[in-house]
Amino acid sequence: MIVPINLENQTIIKYNVMIEKLPKLTFNRKVAIVTNTTVSALHLEELISRIECDELYVVTIEDGEEFKTLETVENILNELFEHKLDRKSLLIALGGGVIGDMTGFTASLYQRGIGFVQVPTTLLSQVDASVGGKTGVNNKYGKNLIGAFYQPEAVYIDTDFLKTLPKREFAAGIAEIIKMAVMFDKEYFDFLMEADFTKKEVLEKVIERSVELKAEVVNLDEKESGIRAVLNYGHTFGHVVENETNYKTYLHGEAVAIGIMMANALSVELGIMSENEMQQVKEFLQKHNLPVDYEIEDIDTFYDKFFLDKKAANNKIKFILANGLGKHVVRDDIDVSVLKKVLKSFSKKGE
């Protein structure tokens, strides 16, 4: 017997990303803020002062990527049950991408899903992690391997939160910003070259454009079958750099900056980017104190690590490359010798 089930997915998901001073937030429901020890000391009071709701709870977890685990999610869930949150309740993520990803995932699980709102407090989470609905945790097999696509009800981006952000963390966010410009928008790229990130209105403009671009990509491809992969520009190389350095030497955005340099070197080798264009990107990264060099110890070991990436389907490595500035191309046909030649230019022997 066959019982065909046809669920026509007609859900239209709409929400706004507000880029402004955090407004008064009124909810006729129970609310739990999820944050970490660092962010709560700096910004929790401010957030609480803006919220009006039935009952308000705060769940504070330890700070660090190493706490982005199922165990932490379970602890958060337990606290929500202790506070008797119901199906109408709301979670608010106050923090960077770690808090955002984990809060979203917890919201997707609690009683099969409750609402959540993002209040991202790092540049990276404001331009990248808080938009797109990817939520999840890490496990011993890798990063973000457990999770769900689950969209927030709203995202509130207030650049004032960034005033307390360490400089290195700020720069790490800039790597994801330049990524979007190189992949999709030459005009935005030119704007970024001149942008003074210390000016609030410039920063807001930059965040707005990055969010817009990410939203366009996600809208075209919510489940990452096609164009969403383009967001991995710089990441194929960057992930190997992160892996080789045991996730200790570089922040993710810093490894992405190195990865962008490597991807661009490949583009230049393939003749789809000029030396001059590569140089422009390099100078931008340097200006923002992002690393642009990396010394590969052993090219073969580095090369083998490409295959650890979950995106390397059927033994083919998919390279997301800049095709000039503001345009991208996805290539899975790169000759090993060409690739190794590029990697060699990042090793001692290449000098």
132 binds ligand NAD (CB under 6 A): yes
Residue 277 annotated among the catalytic residues of the structure = no
R_g of the chain, CA atoms, integer Å: 21
Whether the CB-CB separation of 146 and 139 falls below 8 Å is answered with: yes
97 binds ligand NAD (CB under 6 A): yes
Residue from the set 46, 65, 212, 269 that interacts with ligand NAD by CB under 6 A: 65
> What's the rounded Cα separation, in Å, for the pair 28 and 95?
23
Stretch binding ligand NAD (CB under 6 A), from 81-89, 93-101, 220-228, 316-324:
93-101
Residue 252 annotated among the catalytic residues of the structure = yes
CB of 3 to ligand NAD, least distance (A): 36
The smaller minimum CB distance to ligand NAD, of residues 158 and 277, is found at: 158
259 binds ligand NAD (CB under 6 A): no
Catalytic residue (one of 134, 209, 282, 328): 134
129 binds ligand NAD (CB under 6 A): yes
The smaller minimum CB distance to ligand NAD, of residues 203 and 296, is found at: 203
CB of 214 to ligand NAD, least distance (A): 8
Residue 224 annotated among the catalytic residues of the structure = yes
The smaller minimum CB distance to ligand NAD, of residues 38 and 323, is found at: 38
Residue 163 annotated among the catalytic residues of the structure = no
CB of 165 to ligand NAD, least distance (A): 4
Nearest position to ligand NAD, beta carbon: 97
| Cα–Cα–Cα angle for 330, 331, 332, rounded to 5 degrees | 130
164 binds ligand NAD (CB under 6 A): yes
How many angstroms separate the first and last alpha carbons of the chain? 68
Bridge partners (DSSP) listed for residue 103: none
Residue 112 annotated among the catalytic residues of the structure = yes
Residue 186 annotated among the catalytic residues of the structure = no
* Catalytic residue ranges: 112, 134, 176, 214, 224, 228, 232, 235, 239, 252
